Amino acid sequence: MIAESLADARRKMEHAVDHVASEFTTVRTGRANPQILHRINIDYYGTSTPLQQLASFSVPEPRLLVVQPYDRGSMGVIEKAIKASDLGLNPSNDGVVIRLSFPPLTEERRRELIKVVRHMAEEGRVAVRNIRRHVKDDMEALHGELSDDDIRRGEKDLQDLTDRHIHRIDDLLSNKESELLEV
């Protein structure tokens, strides 16, 4: 029973770490990255549709992202949605593609983005700790069925698992911070 609980906790913690990593990709650095557009939704014929379903992306230069809509009629709404987002990008439309030029980040903007990624990392750590708490409660509920030593060993293994996943989140955070500070 404890092994099943630990396997379930490992799977959930892996998912939490993966979620943090995917959230980090949406934070803009000085380089063009199509993944920052993944959270933008477009009102396409009355339906909220993710941008990646309406256009293809390419990165011809390190600071330039090209968005090519599948339907040219949607170009205006895509451009408006990008302007309305919190990305700080100014799209230019030539009738065929939308070009997004990534200006170099100012020092002040870098500091703001570092605060954002630290908050994302803290949310990930909290998620991992919540998983630990729930699994620990489940283990303690087995108190009458299993010996105290087995439960204690399971809790120690759970804590080791938690520490490893929190360390992975911290590693992801330090990598993202160094990427943001890179000029």
Average pLDDT estimate for 45-58: 88
Longest dimension (CA), the chain: 71
- Domain range for 169: 2-25+106-181
Mark whether 38 and 87 lie in a shared domain.
yes
What percentage of the chain reaches a pLDDT higher than 90?
36
HSE (side-chain half, CA atoms, 13 Å) at 38:
11
* Position 183 confidence tier, pLDDT thresholds 50, 70, 90: low
- Overall domain count for the chain: 2
Structure confidence at residue 7 (pLDDT): 93
Looking at 56, 77, 101, the residue that finishes a domain is 101
- From 54, 69, 101, give the residue that closes a domain: 101
Residue 119 confidence (pLDDT): 94
pTM value is 0.73
CA atoms within 13 A on the CB side of 57: 15
Same domain membership, residue 38 and residue 90: yes
Determine the average pLDDT of the residues in 77-88.
83
The mean pLDDT of 75-99, rounded to a whole number, is 85
Looking at the structure, tell me whether residues 89 and 65 fall in a common domain: yes
